Chains A and B, each alone.
Chain A
């Protein structure tokens, strides 16, 4: 889900609790103060909301099915964010930790690479730049691959 409101991690965690769950994995993406060796002033996120919401829902449903999750959520903030602000939250809830970890990675990777969300980075020297594809190159492992690499 795309929101322009403050994201309360505590409230999202509380709402994700489930008696069937043996694991909850939380990813919080925050605004850091340095990028490309330059001091960051703030970020501005923009999204094509109708399509971004639809694509995030599709990614969540795919993750729930692929990793047998009890539940999963992904919330991405748009608008101007300051250093330390929460930009994105992913929570994956499952019976066991392996699925929750793998699903969380799957969700954030797909959201970062595929959904129409863009970052404009303002630096303290007064310049700015639009972000392109993130630098992370993690493959979208399925659970079997994940487990075989971590046993």
Chain B
């Protein structure tokens, strides 16, 4: 069974993906699965995605965190503030 989630990307990731998009994924998918799936959609971004973290509005999520239906998640590239 599949679930639908919304993904938002930032910074350099916008060179590879729409800033915000919906995607169907398998139930029980983890953050790691999402990053892997995005790498399949955009193979050129695979190296970058391996350095990215997945977050919600409250925190960076653990790689094994299970994504739920209708979740909105954010893909966080390496920081470069300051």
Contacts and interface: CB of A to CB of B under 8 A. Distances in A.
B33 to A, nearest CB: 21
B79 A113 contact: yes
Interface in B4-32: 10-12, 15
A29 B74 contact: no
A50 B56 CA distance: 9
Interface residues on B, range: 10 to 19
Given A48-B76, A51-B57, A120 B81 contact: no
Interface of B is mostly: loop
B30 to A, nearest CB: 19
Most buried by B among A51, A87, A113, A119: A51
A130 B74 CA distance: 18
A61 interface: no
A134 B80 contact: yes
A45 B15 CA distance: 16
B39 interface: no
A47 interface: yes
Given A118-B10, A118-B11, A118-B12, A133 B59 contact: no
B78 A132 contact: yes
Given A54-B58, A116-B55, A118-B77, A48 B10 contact: yes
A111 interface: yes
A106 to B, nearest CB: 13
A51 B81 contact: no
Given A116-B10, A130-B11, 9 more contacts: A48-B76, A50-B57, A50-B58, A116-B55, A116-B79, A118-B81, A119-B80, A133-B80, A134-B80
The 7 A-B residue pairs whose C-beta atoms are closest, nearest first, are A117-B81, A131-B80, A118-B11, A112-B82, A130-B12, A50-B57, A119-B80
22 contacts: A46-B10, A46-B11, A48-B10, A50-B57, A51-B60, A51-B74, A54-B58, A111-B81, A112-B80, A113-B79, A116-B74, A116-B76, A117-B81, A118-B12, A118-B77, A118-B79, A119-B81, A130-B15, A130-B77, A131-B80, A133-B80, A134-B82
